[in-house]
């Protein structure tokens, strides 16, 4: 049995159940999706979580009837008349958008729906399903359209698969970065600041800084030069780059003294102007410019999702200006950089897509073909399997997307490599070749982590907030049992700080067990318990996040082991692979 057909059928059974329970509800669309299905409804009253159990019960009745799914082909006019009579306004709107003279409908029992299919043979084939949640969804995803209610569900071929999915779903809730962001005091959002704009708290800002320090150091090792552009640029530059025409709807514009400016959604124009600031020789190429650049893009409020989809974010952005015959080798180096970085952060699996020329693009077809072939050859050199994503390249060039896979098997778009012949042409970039003539370089646009915000969100969920030691904002919490140990505790604190360990002391007037529990809730890797016995022995009692009580140790021994673990960049994360 085809799982997509089963899930598509489940969405129809759910729609039939909703119509029986809530006759005034109007039907939107109900496709199968990854891991499940959904259906959109326009209902006079709002659905509640309690309604889901009622709908499930009604679905079971429909399943028990084992009604066959019957496909019929009718004229578009017949279908419009039928759905007008049923009062299904959204189905009529869908039909108005269809150009074909004939359409297909599916019937099961008394229920009829506009649908291409496929479906299973009968309702009785759906045995293992669960309704999951309710969300708002604009009709056709357009904010000016009516807001409908979307009911999500899932279905599987076996009870075991369903149970496994539901267990994973509960684990995902525990690892939700929005929940952990609050619990671990990492970040927040505030309506007075604006949707999709992040406020980093001390722990979150420090975690970001650790990640950024690592990535900056790695860029310097690979020969990148640091540059920095302004947050706003005059609109003229965006007209020249093509962003004004092709990306305008995602940009923020404002005027000062009669001139229009835009908050930057990309870093490339500023990097291009740095390149143009003086004459360049072929001996300088490849020239790699890097910036941790803050960018702002107008995302619809309906798609904003914690750190994973924001309006203001930072990219570890670089632009490589190179000769045409250097592009392939530079792309290979970037791919190596990406894979090495993912592994350091604990992501050992990924997928690759190659996106080709979109319908709306700049540049000529010959250059697009050469750019695409260059990216293909780099992937082939690395022996990487990849999917072709037809027509989804950037407007200025094809791109490789490397999507990391987290411990739950979910994919996250982070790294990208884009090969661009068009912007060097638009900005009249040049270098002096060995023959003394001016020639045109090409550009590689690339990010390794991508959006720092999205990468951080993925990292939080991958580890469930229990980061490896080298990433933890607080690596060690010292817990003195009484105030009498404060002087000894201060000495331990200073020794650890002098050795670059991130350490705090819990001096609250709370019981020791409460302090230990709070440190565990904060997912701090190590606790040092210091009492009278430890002070006399000049030692510490060590508790770890993973192992619990590790006994009494000399501070120098503990420090040496700590430094070794930090250097290895391993450990952390009570993660499980499903």
317 as an active site residue: the answer is: yes
Measure CA 498 to chain center.
37
Catalytic-role residue among 177, 311, 319, 545: 319
- Strand pairing partners for 26? 42
Catalytic-role residue among 19, 150, 219, 297: 297
DSSP string, 292-361: EEEEE----GGG-BTTTB-SEEEEEEEEEEE-GGGHHHHHHHHHHHHHHHHHHTT--EEEEEEE---SS-
How many other C-beta atoms are found inside a 10 Å radius of the C-beta of residue 46?
A: 9
Domains in the chain: ranges and CATH: 3-157 (3.30.980.10), 182-230+281-463 (3.30.930.10), 469-568 (3.40.50.800)
Catalytic-role residue among 91, 175, 315, 523: 315
Tell me the C-alpha distance between 52 and 285, whole Å: 61
pLDDT above 70 covers what percent of the chain? Answer: 99
pLDDT tens per residue, range 387-431: 999 999 999 999 999 999 988 888 999 999 999 999 999 999 999
Answer whether 138's CB lies under 8 Å from 28's CB.
no
Residue 527 has pLDDT above 80, yes or no: yes
445 as an active site residue: the answer is: yes
C-alpha pair distances (Å), 227 with each of 215, 263, 267, 398, 448: 15, 18, 10, 25, 17
Q: What is the pTM (predicted TM-score) of this model? A: 0.86
Residue 530 has pLDDT above 50, yes or no: yes
Catalytic-role residue among 7, 130, 311, 399: 399
420 as an active site residue: the answer is: no
Q: Which of 212-221, 298-307, 356-365 has the highest mean pLDDT?
A: 212-221
pLDDT at position 577: 40
The conformation of residue 264, written as its DSSP 8-state character, comes to -
Catalytic-role residue among 40, 113, 317, 506: 317
pLDDT tens per residue, range 314-358: 999 999 999 999 999 999 999 999 999 999 999 999 999 999 999
Catalytic-role residue among 243, 288, 309, 445: 445
297 as an active site residue: the answer is: yes
Please compute, for residue 293, the number of CA atoms within 13 A of its CA located in the half-sphere on the CB side: 29
Tell me the C-alpha distance between 260 and 217, whole Å: 37
Residue 371 has pLDDT above 90, yes or no: yes
Catalytic-role residue among 115, 268, 322, 419: 268
DSSP string, 522-563: TT-SEEEEE-HHHHHHTEEEEEETTTEEEEEEEHHHHHHHHH
pLDDT tens per residue, range 429-465: 999 999 999 999 999 999 999 999 999 999 999 999 9
Mean pLDDT of 554-569: 94
Sign, Cα dihedral of 472, 475, 480, 481: positive
Residue 575 has pLDDT above 60, yes or no: no
Tell me the C-alpha distance between 190 and 5, whole Å: 42
Which residues neighbour 22 within 8 Å (Cβ) at sequence distance 6 or greater?
41, 43, 45
Closest CA to 183 of 203, 165, 155: 203
Measure CA 454 to chain center.
5
pLDDT tens per residue, range 259-297: 999 999 999 999 999 999 999 999 999 999 999 999 999
pLDDT at position 408: 85
């Amino acid at each position: 049995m085809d799982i997509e057909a089963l899930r598509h059928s489940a969405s129809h059974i759910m729609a039939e159940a909703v119509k029986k329970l809530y006759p005034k509800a109007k039907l939107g669309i109900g496709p199968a999706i990854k891991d499940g299905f959904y259906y959109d409804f326009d209902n006079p009253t709002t659905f509640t979580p309690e309604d889901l159990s009622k709908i499930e019960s009604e679905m079971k009745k429909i399943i028990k009837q084992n009604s066959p799914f019957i496909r019929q082909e009718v004229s578009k006019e017949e279908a419009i008349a039928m759905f007008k009579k049923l009062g299904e306004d959204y189905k009529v709107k869908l039909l108005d958008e269809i150009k074909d003279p004939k359409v297909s409908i599916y019937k099961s029992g008394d229920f009829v729906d506009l649908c291409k299919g496929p479906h299973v043979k009968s309702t009785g084939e759906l045995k293992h399903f669960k309704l999951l949640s309710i969300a708002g969804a604009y009709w056709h995803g357009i904010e000016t359209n009516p807001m409908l209610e979307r009911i999500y569900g899932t279905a599987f071929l076996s009870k075991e698969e369903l149970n496994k999915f539901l267990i994973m779903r509960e684990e995902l809730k525990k690892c939700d970065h929005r929940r952990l962001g609050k619990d671990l005091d990492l970040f927040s959002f505030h309506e007075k600041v604006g949707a999709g704009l992040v406020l980093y708290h001390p722990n979150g800002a420090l975690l970001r800084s650790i990640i950024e320090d690592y990535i900056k150091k790695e860029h310097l090792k690979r020969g990148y030069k640091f540059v920095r552009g302004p947050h706003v640029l005059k609109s003229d530059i965006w007209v020249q780059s093509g962003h004004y025409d092709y990306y305008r709807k995602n940009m923020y514009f404002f005027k000062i003294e009669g001139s229009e400016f835009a908050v930057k959604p990309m870093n490339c124009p500023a990097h291009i102007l740095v390149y143009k600031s003086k004459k360049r020789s072929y001996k300088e190429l490849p020239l790699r410019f890097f910036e941790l650049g803050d960018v702002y893009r107008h995302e619809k409020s309906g798609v904003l999702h914690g750190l994973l989809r924001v309006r203001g974010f930072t990219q570890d952005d670089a632009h490589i200006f190179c000769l045409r015959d250097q592009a392939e080798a530079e792309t290979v180096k970037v791919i190596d950089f990406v894979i090495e970085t993912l592994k350091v952060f604990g992501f050992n699996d990924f997928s690759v897509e190659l996106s080709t020329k979109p319908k709306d693009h700049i540049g000529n077809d010959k250059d697009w073909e050469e750019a695409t072939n260059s990216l293909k050859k780099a992937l082939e050199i690395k022996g990487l399997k990849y999917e072709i994503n037809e027509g989804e390249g950037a407007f200025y060039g094809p791109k490789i997307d490397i999507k990391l896979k987290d411990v739950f098997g979910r994919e996250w778009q982070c790294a990208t490599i884009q090969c661009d012949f068009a912007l060097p042409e638009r900005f009249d970039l040049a270098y002096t070749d060995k023959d003394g003539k001016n020639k045109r370089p090409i550009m590689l646009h690339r990010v390794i982590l991508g959006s720092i915000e999205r990468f951080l969100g993925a990292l939080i969920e991958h580890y469930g907030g229990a980061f490896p030691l080298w990433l933890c904002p607080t690596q060690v919490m010292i817990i003195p049992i009484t105030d009498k140990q404060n002087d000894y505790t201060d000495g331990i604190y200073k020794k650890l700080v002098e050795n670059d360990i991130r350490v705090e002391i819990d001096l609250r007037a709370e019981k020791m067990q409460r302090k230990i529990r709070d440190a565990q809730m904060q997912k701090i890797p190590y606790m040092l318990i210091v009492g009278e016995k430890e002070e006399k022995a000049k030692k510490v009692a060590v508790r770890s996040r993973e192992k619990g009580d590790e006994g009494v140790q000399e501070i120098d021994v503990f420090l040496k082991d700590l430094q070794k673990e930090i250097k290895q960049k391993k450990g952390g994360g009570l993660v499980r692979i499903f």
